[in-house]
């Protein structure tokens, strides 16, 4: 498996094949022998923003760490065309944000909750 | 037979690509100023569009991904955001132009200023997206869009000198005012090839659940759908060439002048048929643009999306098109001249074209996505040619806007 090619920026889906975001970042950790291990995948616009700042040469403005939601690698069930994760959708940031939208925005729009 | 109806995806994409305010305005200008001489620009634009639309459909069928998915996957988040920002700005401007087109159609029909129609039009478009499904929108727009065939009927009624029309399909140099000629040629290409069509069409193929048995249907849909739009654009050039110069009009200055394009052929009904065509096709284009904006946003950031689902299911997706419509209606409701918005948005489209076309060269040759359905050398040669063409367009548009517009 090639982390950047096969994991980074890939579509995340839950067990029901609902799209739950993308792999916005990958968190590596050094083990006791100094070898890098994949710790988690990171989700969230702050991670995307950090990559963008580094990409355009403004590393000084970028935060030390991504600040996004970290999904521990052990929850990654399958790396295929999409990446399947075995967590409840409601725990992930995208669905939480959508839940907020339902409660605070959609309820004011006719037909929003029907 | 059911599969043949899938061609409506081609027609609806085509309505957004050709029959909207942009192509109607630029084609009418081309015909008024240069007769049949600029038909080649429509033919060239249509050819390029057929190739790119076929590829975006093939990509979706082979990979189960859309073009926006592919860009984020293949090029990472930074390049995606660059493309996303540029295309979103262009989409909003073109969306404003389309809302203006519908409002103008209503102004011609009712006599009430387009400014007052802007909000009701935006609301109607939003309501249809909020409550409707992809199928109803697609089939509805392509069925109603057939009214624009009246341009072809009118062209035949006028009985143009077909030999000269055919000669116009070959590129030629103008006998006067070269920079204005080049400006209109560029505008036609910009009005024909638009990035959002690829995002829309590839998402449509997923919405319609095209599987691997649809490669042939995709080819037919892309070809016939885009040819439908191209034929109508040509009809408008031919009509404009026969209607305006004899009346001493060489430069189209307002939509009122374009609105009379059908009257010599169809009589007093002409203005109503023109207004209805403008109204329906711009409305279709507005729906298509709003959806394309929601598709590219949701896909790029990995949200769940489907126009068939209720807003409650995918609130983020539904709110993107809602916000897009709200922003785009502002300039029209504020009274900005829709024709100016249109011409400007076509030029901005031309500048943004390379960003949308270059990814095809990579995505369509990546076996990880398309498997055995990669481009052949002819397909790649054509894409390279189109990329070259879009670069030329992007570079010459601003100078031409200044000197020739």
pLDDT digits (tens, 9 = 90+) for B162-182: 999 999 999 988 877 788 898
Inside any domain, residue A103: no
Pairing verdict, β A11-13 and A69-72: unpaired
Angstrom distance (rounded) from CA A39 to CA A46: 18
Total structural domains within chain A: 1
- What is the C-alpha to C-alpha distance for residues B279 and B102, in angstroms, rounded to an integer? 4
Chain A contact for B81 (CB, 8 A cutoff): yes
Least confident of A52-56, A60-64, B224-228, B319-323: A60-64
| B310 at A interface, C-beta within 8 A | yes
Q: What local confidence, expressed as pLDDT, does residue B404 receive?
A: 62
Asked whether residue A95 is assigned to any structural domain, the reply reads: no
Residue of B73, B302, B322 for testing the chain A interface, max A β-carbons within 10 Å: B302
Q: What's the DSSP call for residue A60?
A: G
Tell me the chain A residues in contact with residue B310 when contact means C-beta distances shorter than 8 Å. Answer: 114
Confirm whether A51 is domain-assigned.
Answer: yes
Range of the domain at A40: 3-87
Residue B132 has what DSSP assignment?
-
Q: Check residue B182 and give its pLDDT.
A: 87
Q: State the nearest Cα–Cα gap between A11 and chain B, in angstroms.
A: 6
Weakest mean pLDDT among A35-39, B156-160, B262-266, B345-349: B345-349
Average pLDDT over residues B296-306: 96
- For residues B56 and B68, what is the distance between their CA atoms, to the nearest angstrom? 10
Using the beta-carbon criterion (under 8 Å), do B311 and A111 form an inter-chain contact?
A: yes
Q: Cα-flanking dihedrals φ and ψ of residue B106, to 5°?
A: -70, -35
Q: Is residue A65 part of a domain?
A: yes
Contact between B315 and A12 using a beta-carbon 8 Å cutoff: no
Greatest mean pLDDT range, A14-18, A55-59, B301-305 = B301-305
Q: Assign B366 to helix, strand or coil.
A: coil
For residue A42, the domain's CATH number is 2.30.30.240
Q: Is B308 helix (H, G, I), strand (E, B) or coil?
A: coil
Question: Does residue A78 lie in a domain region?
Answer: yes
Rounded to whole angstroms, the Cα distance separating B375 from B380 reads 6
Q: Average pLDDT for residues A38-66, to the nearest whole number?
A: 85
Spatial contact of B52 and B194, defined as CB atoms under 8 Å apart: no
With CB atoms and an 8 Å threshold, state whether B72 touches A9.
yes
Assess if residue A113 is contained within a domain: no
Question: Is A70 part of any domain?
Answer: yes
B177 Rama class: left (phi>0) / alpha (psi -120 to 50) / beta: left
Instruction: Kindly indicate the confidence band of residue B401, based on its pLDDT and cuts at 50, 70 and 90.
Output: confident
State the pLDDT confidence band at B301, using cuts at 50, 70 and 90.
very high
For chains A and B, what is the number of CB pairs under 8 angstroms?
Answer: 67
Query: What tokens were used for B397?
Result: 């548009």
């Amino acid at each position: 498996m090639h982390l950047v090619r096969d994991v980074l920026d890939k579509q995340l889906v839950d067990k029901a094949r609902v799209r739950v975001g993308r792999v916005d970042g990958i968190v590596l950790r050094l083990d006791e022998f100094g070898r890098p291990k994949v710790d988690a995948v990171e989700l969230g616009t702050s991670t995307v923003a950090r990559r963008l700042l580094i990409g355009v040469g403004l590393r000084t403005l970028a935060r030390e760490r991504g600040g996004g939601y970290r999904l521990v690698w052990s929850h990654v069930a399958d790396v295929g065309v999409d990446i399947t994760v075995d967590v409840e959708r409601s725990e992930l940031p995208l669905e939480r944000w959508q839940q907020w939208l339902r409660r605070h925005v959609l309820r004011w729009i006719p037909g929003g909750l029907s | 037979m059911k599969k043949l109806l899938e061609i409506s995806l081609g027609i609806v994409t085509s309505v957004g690509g050709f029959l909207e305010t942009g192509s109607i305005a630029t084609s009418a200008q081309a015909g008024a100023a240069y007769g049949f001489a600029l038909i080649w620009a429509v033919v060239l634009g249509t050819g390029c569009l057929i190739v790119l639309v076929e590829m975006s459909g093939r990509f979706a069928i082979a990979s189960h991904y859309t073009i926006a998915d592919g860009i984020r996957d293949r090029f990472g988040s930074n390049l995606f955001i660059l493309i996303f920002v540029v295309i979103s700005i262009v989409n909003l401007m073109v969306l404003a132009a389309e809302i203006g087109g519908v409002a103008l159609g209503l102004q011609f029909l009712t006599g009430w200023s387009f400014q007052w129609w802007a909000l009701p039009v935006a609301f109607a478009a939003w309501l249809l997206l909020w409550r409707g499904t992809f199928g109803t929108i697609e089939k509805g727009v392509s069925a109603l869009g057939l009214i624009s065939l009246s341009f072809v009927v009118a062209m035949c009624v006028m009985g143009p000198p077909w030999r000269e029309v055919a000669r116009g399909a070959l590129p030629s140099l103008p006998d006067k005012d070269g920079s204005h000629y080049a400006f209109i040629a560029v505008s036609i290409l910009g009005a024909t090839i638009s990035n959002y069509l690829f995002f829309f069409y590839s998402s449509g193929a997923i919405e319609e659940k095209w599987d691997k048995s649809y490669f042939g249907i995709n080819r037919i849909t892309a070809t016939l759908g885009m040819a439908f739009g191209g034929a109508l654009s040509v009809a408008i050039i031919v009509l404009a060439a026969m209607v305006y110069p004899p009346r001493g009009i060489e430069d189209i200055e307002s939509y009122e002048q374009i609105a009379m394009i059908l009257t010599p052929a169809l009589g007093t009904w002409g203005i109503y048929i023109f207004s209805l065509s403008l109204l329906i096709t711009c409305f279709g284009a507005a729906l298509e643009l709003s959806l394309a904006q929601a598709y590219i946003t949701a896909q790029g950031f990995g949200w769940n999306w489907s126009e068939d689902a209720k807003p409650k299911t995918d609130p983020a997706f539904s709110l993107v098109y809602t916000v897009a419509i709200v922003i785009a209606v502002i300039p029209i409701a504020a009274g900005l001249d829709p024709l100016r918005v249109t011409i400007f948005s076509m030029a901005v489209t031309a500048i943004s074209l390379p960003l949308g076309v270059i990814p095809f060269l990579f995505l369509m040759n990546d076996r990880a996505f398309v498997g055995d359905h990669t481009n052949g050398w002819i397909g790649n040669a054509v894409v390279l040619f189109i990329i070259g063409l879009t670069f030329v367009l992007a570079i010459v548009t601003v100078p031409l806007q200044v000197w020739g517009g």
